[in-house]
Structure 1
Amino acid sequence: MGATATVGVPEKARQADSLPRVLALDAARGIAVLGMFVVHTGPNASFSDQASWLRFFEGRSSALFAVLAGVSVALLSGGDRPTHDRTRRGALRIAVRAVLLVLLGLALAHLRSGIGVMIILAYYGLYFLCTLPLLRLRARSLALIALVWAIAGPIASFLIRERIAESYLGNPAFDMFGTLEGLRNLAVELLLTGVYPVLTWMPFVLAGMALGRIGIRTVRPIAVLAAGAVLALLGHGGSWVAQQLLGGRAHLIAALVPEYAEYGFTDADLDAMLSIGSLGTVSTDSWWWLTIDAPHSGTPFDIFAVTGAALLVTGVLLLITPRAGVVLRPLISAGSCALSLYILHLVALWALVPVPDYSDLENLPPLPGGIHAPGWSLLALVAIGALVLATLWRNVFRRGPAEWLLHRVSLGITKRAVPASE
């Protein structure tokens, strides 16, 4: 569809016409950056009723990143015109970036802070590698695969995890390469049991690839908004039907009562707990777990719901960015430096929030306050600082430092290995 609309249009004119749409993607990525800061540094919603609304960002920010990563993969491999040469060169650039992201993620895992941030970059690298066999597909095929994967992936994960022993849950790191058990844990976590496992997170990337293949210049924001609304309704509405009308909620609460009764948990407490979310997967003791839509649960309903939210955010920004680019400038700047800001905020947490000393559990020191603990102070420091730094940086440079490095290394290797033929 997009290819026929661009016949005879000079490439420079196409790029100029696409600029507001590209800025809209950066703005969406900026929203994801701020949402990530809320989740990582804001008041702990589990202990503050006043901050319970912050749970809205859990799962949605990381999924928005993944959808936008899929759009980037499509653009790198030809956008709405994935010719053989563009796809071949794009595949190498994507593969190089994937390897660099995996290495960076493994390295950043060693920056430990008092906030247990789960680092996504190693997973991202694997997502990129998994897209390589699919780069020649058109938007319709990618959307269909994403739809099927969103249903089949969680079911396959459930069936496999029923038959394997509990695995390591933490950040993939270099020290896991030291033993066979470490390598096994690394593979299982990245693919199956981690917070962002490939088996249940690829639908986000595939949905983004489908959007990018339609053509960022020609896609209609209203169509993106409509698709997002349908998916969000299917995710949250379908889960509500299964949980409330078909009895799934009551079944899960009844199953949890024996485990938590001794701690004084009421049915209302257990009901609230089911809405908080998990760490990438759900329990395998009942099929009803696959009907919840809680953040990071990795169920079909969760995948549909957060993909819909990502498309809604993207559609709104595609609609308003051409008219409100100046107002959105800090957000656009943050989005264009998303990887750099991600690294910087991890370094800031490592420096500002020390790891508590758990060696003497009877004499634990008091919890730190202010910028040395999750809360409004730390969130304001990180969020406002990121927006200001990104805006100042973009006044001088086109890309963030980490983005520039990925671009230069991947482009340099590609130019030497696969010279352009068109």
Structure 2
Amino acid sequence: MSISIKLPDESVREFEEETSIEDVAASISCGLEHAVAGKLNGKLVDLSTPLQDGALVEIVTRDSAEGQKIAREKSRGTGRIVALDAARGLAVIGMYLQHFALNETNGSIVSGNTTLLFVLCGGISYSIMAGRMMDRGMEPAAFRTRMLARAVFIDMIGYLLIMLNTPFGVILPAYAALFVLALVLIRRSTRVLVTTAAVLLAVSPPLMILGGSVLSEAYLLGDMAGGPMSALALAPAFVAGMAIGRFDLTKMRTALSLVSSGTIMLIVSKLLGTFVLPGLSRSFEEWLVSVQGTAGAEPDQYAIWPHNVAPPLWHNLLSIAPHSASTFQTMLGLGAAFLVLGLACLVPQKISAVLKPFVGVGRVALTMYAAQFVVIWALEISGAKYDIGAIPFGDLFVAAVATVTGWLIARLPTGPLETAMRRFDRVFSNLGPVTGPTISR
């Protein structure tokens, strides 16, 4: 069922029944990245305000005098969203490179790092949504319901993609688990979030290695703590993102802090990976052999627990290889993620158009993420070869196709999966503010 929305130029447009002012802004030329608020029948309201048939809607943009005033009052404004979407878009494009055009040149950049950048951006978005909840006076229970509904939706999409049985891992079930587990942190201080991320960086690797052994066949528990694609392995990046989401990414100081800290983490990780970890890893593996002996026969899957589990891969604790999820590999990936996000935040507002192709991909990140597995499945079914990394400029071709595809999908009010997730939210959660709408961050 559709509704009619009136615009200030007296034109009338048709939208879906669940449309919000944010959807209207995304569909017209001003673009969502320039919108800071809306007017509903002349009253200033939040961008997420739902609309009814016959509503008169005006988009308040950052370029207007009223928009500039709102942006000053609400310093966490549109620049933050643009940079965040651009970074998320780059993460998705990097995944396409990893799956369709991996080679020695781009492998050290995208392998493993794009996943952590994607999860970091997810943590930032999560923190922003929690902040908006507090601003609008929404009951914590309503936010928890919304996140639980979103986690269920993402989990279902993840398992549908896993059923395609493509050669690549799907992180969506772990990502969904993080949406649930992070609920305990939404009201904690920024200091607690930073401390939690640091602690997780140290303790998650041994716990997820143990979980990869003990929980390998327990699917739900495996999604939470069963190896390098589990929520526990990705938790340091997600919680770090939640902490970053508390800061104003439109400020130069924040962007420079991200760039400098990311650079330091990259340099330290590279130095450790080159000069320290190889020798330390050999000594550690020799010690493991002396204690555990050499690997024996495969465990009997029909034996009683714990005799049916494989031995933990403790040697991965000192690995810096992609997707090992060790402390050092996570620190390397987080350093790269901080650097990319910080550089995106440094792009001035006047030339932010350079980020628009990546912003488009980031706005429909869930749709684009799922699409790559469907494409891989179709190519596998047809027997076609899709790894073109060895072809000259093959990686540039894949990056260009992914960027253009995401940009075209983003021309819609929202991506197909994003629209479905929003409807799922509204079916299973009560999102109405308690005290009435206020200005969006």
Give the structure-2-normalised TM-score. Answer: 0.69
Q: Which amino acid aligns with 1:62?
A: T
Q: Which amino acid aligns with 2:435?
A: S
How far residue 161 of structure 1 moved from its aligned partner, in angstroms, is 5.5
Question: 1:171 maps to what in 2?
Answer: none
Question: 1:311 maps to what in 2?
Answer: 338
Q: Secondary structure at the match of 2:344?
A: helix
Deviation string 1:27-54 (CA, Å, 9 cap, x unpaired) is 11111011100111114x4xxxxx3542
Please point out which of 325, 338, 346 is paired with 1:298. Answer: 325
Deviates more, 1:377-386 or 1:143-152: 377-386
Deviates more, 1:71-80 or 1:212-221: 212-221
Q: Which amino acid aligns with 1:401?
A: P
Taking the TM superposition and a 5 Å limit, the aligned residue runs for 1:5-404 are 18-43=77-102, 45=103, 51-78=104-131, 85=138, 87-113=140-166, 116-159=167-210, 164=214, 167-168=216-217, 184=218, 186-218=219-251, 220-240=254-274, 242-244=276-278, 247-249=280-282, 252=285, 284=312, 289-320=316-347, 322-354=349-381, 368-369=384-385, 371=386, 376=391, 382-395=398-411, 397-404=412-419
Contact 1:77 1:86 in 2 (8 A): no
Give the structure-1-normalised TM-score. Answer: 0.72
Report whether the alignment pairs 1:420 with 2:434: yes
Q: Which amino acid aligns with 1:338?
A: A
Contact 2:261 2:338 in 1 (8 A): yes
Q: 1:13 to 1:404 in 2, by over 3 A?
A: farther
How far residue 204 of structure 1 moved from its aligned partner, in angstroms, is 0.6
Q: Once the two structures are aligned, what percentage of the paired residues are identical? A: 24
Structure with a larger share of its residues in helix: 1
Question: 1:274 maps to what in 2?
Answer: none
Q: 1:17 to 1:322 in 2, by over 3 A?
A: farther
Q: Distance in 1 between matches of 2:348 and 2:82?
A: 7
- Structure 1 unaligned spans of 5+: 1-8, 46-50, 169-183, 261-281, 357-367
Structure with a larger share of its residues in strand: 2
Q: 1:196 to 1:232 in 2, by over 3 A?
A: same
Contact 1:37 1:379 in 2 (8 A): no
- Structure 2 unaligned spans of 5+: 1-67, 296-309, 437-441
Q: Secondary structure at the match of 1:399?
A: coil
Contact 1:112 1:355 in 2 (8 A): no
Q: Distance in 2 between matches of 1:14 and 1:80?
A: 18
Q: Distance in 2 between matches of 1:232 and 1:71?
A: 21
Aligned residue pairs, count: 350
Report whether the alignment pairs 1:406 with 2:421: yes
Bigger CA radius of gyration: 2
How far residue 200 of structure 1 moved from its aligned partner, in angstroms, is 2.0
